Amino acid sequence: MTLARQKKPLHEVGARIHSFHGGLRLRHHKKISCGDPVEQPPLPELLSVPLTQHAGNAAAPLVSAGETVLKGQPIGRCQPCAQIHSPVSGVVEAIEDRPMTHPSGKMGPCVVIRPDGREQWTGLKPISDWKTASPESLIMQMQDCGLAGLGGAVFPTHRKARDGRDRRIHTLVLNGAECEPWISCDEMLMREQPDKIVLGARILRRALGASRVVIAIEDQMGAVEAALSHAAECAECQNISVVKVPKIYPEGGERQLIQVLTGLEVPLGGRPSQLGMLCQNVATAAAVADAVVEGKPLIERYITVTGHGISHPRNFRALVGTSFSHLVELCGGYTKDVARLVVGGPMMGFPVASDASPVVKASNCVLALTADDISDSQVEMPCIRCGECARVCPASLLPQQLFLQVRNELWTQAAEWGLAACIECGCCDVVCPSHIPLVEWFRFGKGERRKLAMEAEASELARKRFENREARLARLKLERAEKMQRRKQMLKDKASQQDRIQASIERARSRAARQAASTGKGPGDDA
């Protein structure tokens, strides 16, 4: 069946709930961080703003050390990607490598700003009437305000929107299905700012040219459903519906959510836009409303600080660049039995060695685990080929096969068996009786394949450069040889001409001598 035929009619998206292969029903711990209203933390002494906060290349700094900046001022620019803005007014203390919020724990370029406490904004440029603005102007506003997907992938919003518009999607899906068991920041956002989310949905719908919006939430979010539905009714919005989906991890994944809403699978290597749909996180929709209506860039986000290792878990509306340690301190610090700090949830998050790492656009949770929470302390055993990992894999893969292929560095076979399709959800890790860290192996395999691809690309580039150099040298050699040949020919022609002249002179002398001999006079005698 072709993709065109697979496109669901507009009214069918979300009308019936479907299922996807595998998945897990996890015990949730969201309530412990939802007891207090979301708080804006006091300003820290320093903010470290990384210049890489999106999928793509790092931004180039637009400021220098010692320079005064205003809140919302652009401080990093990457033309095809999302821009970086100052979260505060203050002074740039340095532009230097600092700890990044990254699984590898690598260092990266950061703009270090000391706030001046005045919170003086730069001149904001909102769009006065988004209802009559052109879709392209709305998309450009998203780029100028540095918007990126806040569900974790941080793909630049304007690029995703432009792709969706080019493909003429009919349905915008707002993803509020927060499937990680500890993360509650999106739920708190939907509780507290449903009007802003609906407004952002309407703006996105206009930018995309979509006809309908479906807001997907988990089935236990009754209060959220009421708040969003009321906001849509107050705005007199048509074709905006709130759909509850089962609490099965990882239904919040883009591909799984599309399958739940439509029964269709996004093709491997394809995008939901090929099925006439585009997914955005609810927090991204709220950021779109801020960017278009108020002109505010993306400089803050909702983030959950939680776990058994946190004294008083809660949610914050934290500025980008705020250190995790600052937020943990505002939660009363760590408990005495804290053992590990994780950025993200327990399923798809990654551990960090230090809480000095900063909040970035992708940061939705800081999770402090105790020793009792950590399962990887158990001894890893050989694979017993039980097949449990394949049963729960939402991508319908065979993790046990991929594990063997990656471990034995059989990269071609791993690619053929779908390594790239792994969403790294961690379901296989949870059910593995041998306690094999399968996701770590798959991340390693993907990294190695990227490395090999880069090496192959570099090798191909070097080969082309060598061939071009050899061709250039051969061309120069040929040109020199041709030039030398032409010069030799010129000299030869010149010598031949001189020989002909000399021969003519000799013939003239010979004739003169013969004439003189016939008259009995020498050539020099007078008449």
Q: Taking the domains of the chain in order of start, what are their residue ranges?
A: 11-28+134-296, 380-516
- Residue 56 phi/psi, 5-degree rounding, is 130, -165
Strand order in the sheet with 107-115: 47-50, 107-115, 90-99, 68-69
Structure tokens at 417: 């068996």
Residue 10 has a pLDDT of 53
**Which DSSP state fits 526?**
-
Rg of the chain's alpha carbons, rounded to an integer? Answer: 35
Per-residue pLDDT in tens (0 to 9) along the chain, 527 residues: 344 445 555 557 767 899 999 999 999 999 999 999 999 999 999 999 999 887 667 789 999 999 999 999 999 998 778 899 999 999 999 999 998 887 777 888 999 999 999 999 998 899 989 999 999 999 999 999 999 999 877 889 999 999 999 999 999 999 999 889 999 999 999 999 999 999 999 999 999 999 999 999 999 888 899 999 999 888 777 889 999 999 999 999 999 999 999 999 988 878 898 899 999 999 999 999 999 999 999 999 999 999 999 999 999 999 999 999 999 999 999 999 999 999 999 999 989 988 999 999 999 999 999 988 886 667 889 999 999 999 999 999 999 999 999 999 999 999 999 999 999 999 999 999 999 999 999 999 998 998 898 898 899 999 999 999 999 999 999 999 988 888 888 888 777 777 778 888 888 888 888 888 877 655 555 54
| Total-model pTM | 0.84
Under DSSP, the state recorded for 265 is P
The CATH code of domain 11-28+134-296 reads 3.40.50.11540
Residue 203 burial (CB count, 10 A): 23
| Pair 426, 439: CB distance under 8 Å | yes
The count of other CB atoms within 10 Å of the CB of residue 479 is 10
pLDDT value of residue 376 = 60
Residue type, 447: G
Cα 127 from Cα 313, distance rounded (Å) = 38
Angle between helices 185-192 and 194-208 (to 10 degrees): 100
Helices of type H across 113-248: 135-144, 157-166, 185-192, 194-208, 222-234
C-alpha 389/C-alpha 432 separation (Å) is 6
Residue that has been written with the tokens 């320079």 in this structure: 67
Return the closest-CA partner of residue 254 out of 345, 172, 175, 348: 175
Helix 194-208 / helix 135-144 crossing angle, nearest 10 deg = 120
pLDDT value at position 521? 58
Strand extents, DSSP E, 338-433: 338-343, 350-352, 365-370
Q: What is the DSSP letter of 357?
A: P
DSSP letters along 55-74, please?
SSSPPEE---TT-EE-BT-E
| Close Cβ partners of 2 (under 8 Å, ≥ 6 residues apart) | none
CB 76 within 8 A of CB 84: yes
* Of 403, 413, 412, nearest in space to 444 by CA: 403
- The pLDDT of residue 527: 45
Phi, psi of 278 (to 5 degrees): -140, 135
For 9, the token pair is: 């009619």
172 sits in which H/E element: strand 171-176
Q: How high is the pLDDT of residue 2?
A: 42
- The architecture (CATH level 2) of 380-516 comes to Orthogonal Bundle (1.10)
pLDDT at 512: 83
